[in-house]
Amino acid sequence: MTKNKVVDSFENGNNNLITAKPFVKWAGGKGNLLNILESQLPDDFDSQKVTYIEPFVGGGAMLFHMLNNHKNIKRIIINDINKTLIKCYLLIRENPQTLIGLLMPLQEKYYNLSEKEREDFFYKVRQEYNKGDISEELKAAYLIFLNRTCFRGMYRENLNGDFNVPFGHYRKPKICNTDTIMAAHEALKRVDIMSGDYKIVSKKIGKGYTLIYFDPPYRPLLGSYNFKKYSKSSFGDPEQEELKNFCDKMTAKGCKIMLSNSFSNNPDGTSYFEKLYKGYSFETILAPRYINAYVDKREKQKEVLIKNYVNPKVKLKK
């Protein structure tokens, strides 16, 4: 289906062409954990009129899953500290044709280049993206272009806040996925989109049934090589503890909390998060993670799932 036909079809109300899904890859994405996360929602979740909040939305795998599968969600709020990522969400919600109009020429030019020319073009775009002397709309399009053409589709910044992932050698990456953009456009019409520190979502807390899903930057594993940072914003142990205090405040407001993080131990061998979130429900799950550049180290890793309720839909097997 051509771009214009897809756009026309969605504008005429045919929004069942494709299920809404993430339009970028993101470090720590939850695409492989959706069945587990779904099973751990509160057992009364589908019988309520729900406000659903994601303070660290990232690529939005959980967001789009919830939008596709839970029509009882009446209010949705998302946030992320990455302003350009949030500009992508806003542009897709408000003016997807503008984004498509920027991405399509990038894709056509890229496809017509040799391998060496593609690499040179990638680094030119990356330089312009980091320089920032471009419109917000073009920077959003560049983020998607770089995400689709860089090594393993990662997003990572150095200490100066510059995107620094190298070129990825892909034969024909889908840079402008019109179907995905238009499906996300329809889904995001229902979503309140914010950008800033995660705590700003507290302004949106009302009196009704509210579930907050936290997917913050993960605490590094002891004794292993890992990327500690995917942005210039620090999220060390003081920030993890501050987040726990915020969860306590949201719990006091009556919100239901579900939070993902790494299975990370203290130097004495005790579980960092089980100790930090004492009094919360604590589960250990296995998650496929493929960020590691070394093939023999790409394996399932333990993660933790923390909740302030004890009645999930399904009990996980120990």
What pLDDT sits at residue 36?
96
pLDDT band at 287 (very low <50, low <70, confident <90, very high): confident
Choose among 21, 29, 22: nearest CA to 260.
29
Q: Give the whole-angstrom CA distance, residue 264 versus residue 101.
A: 44
pLDDT at residue number 290: 54
Q: Please name which of 78, 69, 58, 71 lies closest in space to residue 34, comparing C-alpha atoms.
A: 69
Task: Note the pLDDT of residue 270.
Answer: 85
Q: How far apart are CA 89 and CA 188, in angstroms?
A: 8
Give percent of the chain above pLDDT 70: 87
Gap between the Cα atoms of 60 and 66, Å rounded: 10
Tell me the mean pLDDT in the region 243-271: 94
Query: Closest Cα partner for 50 from 206, 248, 249?
Result: 206
| pLDDT tens-digit readout, 165-189 | 999 999 999 999 999 999 999 999 9
Residues 86-113 have a mean pLDDT of 98
Query: Who has greater pLDDT, 293 or 148?
Result: 148
HEC string of 29-66 equals: CCHHHHHHHHHCCECCHHHCCEEEEECCCCCCHHHHHH
- 255: number of CA atoms within 13 Å, CB side? 24
The residues, ordered by sequence, that sit 6+ positions from 48 with a Cβ below 8 Å of its Cβ are: 72, 209
Query: Strand 256-262 and strand 209-214: pairing?
Result: parallel
Burial of residue 112, with CB atoms counted within 10 A of its CB: 0-12 exposed, 13-18 middle, 19 or more buried: exposed
> What are the pLDDT digits (tens) for 45-89?
999 999 999 999 999 999 999 999 999 999 999 999 999 999 999
Residue type, 193: I
Beta strands (DSSP E) in the chain are: 50-54, 73-80, 191-195, 209-214, 256-262, 281-288, 300-307
pLDDT digit string (tens) for 114-170?
A: 999 999 999 999 999 999 899 999 999 999 999 999 998 888 888 888 999 999 999
Give dist(CA 185, CA 17) in Å, integer.
13
Query: What are 90's two structure tokens?
Result: 């806003």
Confidence of residue 298 (pLDDT cuts 50, 70, 90): low
pTM listed for this prediction: 0.89
pLDDT of residue 190: 94
Q: Which position has the higher pLDDT, 150 or 225? A: 150
Higher local confidence (pLDDT), 100 or 2: 100
The Cα 260–Cα 79 span in angstroms is 16
Ordered structural domains, the chain, with CATH:
3-91+178-307 (3.40.50.150)
